[in-house]
Amino acid sequence: PLPVVAIVGRPNVGKSTLVNRILGRRAAVVQDVPGVTRDRISYEALWNGKRFTVMDTGGWDPKAVGMGASITRQAQLAMETADVIVLVVDSQVGATDTDLAAARILRRSDRPVILVANKVDDERSEGNVHELWSLGMGEPQPVSALHGRSSGDLLDLILDAM
Ligand code: GDP
Ligand code: MG
């Protein structure tokens, strides 16, 4: 089986946009992971000749009650299944309580966790990134999933962490 990269984070931070960015034009097959809830959709991706599975954990989870429970479950699912976890936050919004809750859980992971500061669309927005150190997840990696800014650097980091 291919290494699994899980993309987690609260709604609207740009997880699905990042997944599409990772898949790029060479994108692969969409597959529902059999036997699990639909809150996980996996795709096959390719970067630098290495194949891996990228898991978008974004769906609404009917078993979870409220955002806090939903993010908790998402993070736990990621820790159970993923080889590398990518926690996405919205750098334009900053660290929210929900981001903190996710970070608190993921900090206990024995798998590598990469903190992504998304929506850094231009150099001006780099200033928003520093405060995300407060999540205690190490260095925030600035990207723009929408425009592709620094997404190659992020993919290099993900592969290095596998
Ligand atoms: P998800 O709920 O985490 O999967 O978030 P989506 O991928 O659906 O994106 C939520 C919204 O954020 C959409 O309107 C996206 O176009 C927008 N978005 C995602 N990535 C970026 C980015 O890098 N920059 C900006 N400015 N907007 C983004
Ligand atoms: Mg989504």
CATH number at 4-161: 3.40.50.300
3-state secondary structure at position 29: coil
**How far, in Å, CA of 137 to CA of 68, rounded?**
19
**55 three-state secondary structure:** strand
Please report the beta strands in the chain, taking only residues with DSSP state E, as ranges in sequence order.
4-8, 30-32, 41-47, 50-56, 84-90, 113-118, 141-142
pTM: 0.90
- 10 pLDDT above the threshold of 80: yes
Which amino acid residue places its CA nearest to atom 15 of ligand 1? Answer: 14
Judged against a pLDDT cut of 50, whether residue 145 lies above it is answered with yes
d(C-alpha 116, C-alpha 50), whole Å: 21
- The complex's ipTM works out to 0.99
**pLDDT tens digits for range 72-121:** 888 888 888 899 999 999 999 999 998 999 999 999 999 999 999 999 99
Token pair of 134 as six digits: 């407060």
Atom of ligand 1 nearest to the CA of 10: 3
Q: Is 47 annotated as a binding residue?
A: no
CA of 129 to the centre of ligand 1 (A): 17
Which residue ranges have their beta carbon within 6 Å of ligand 1? 9, 11-17, 58, 118-119, 121, 144-146
Task: Please state the rounded mean pLDDT for residues 18-46.
Answer: 64
Structure letter (DSSP) for residue 33? P
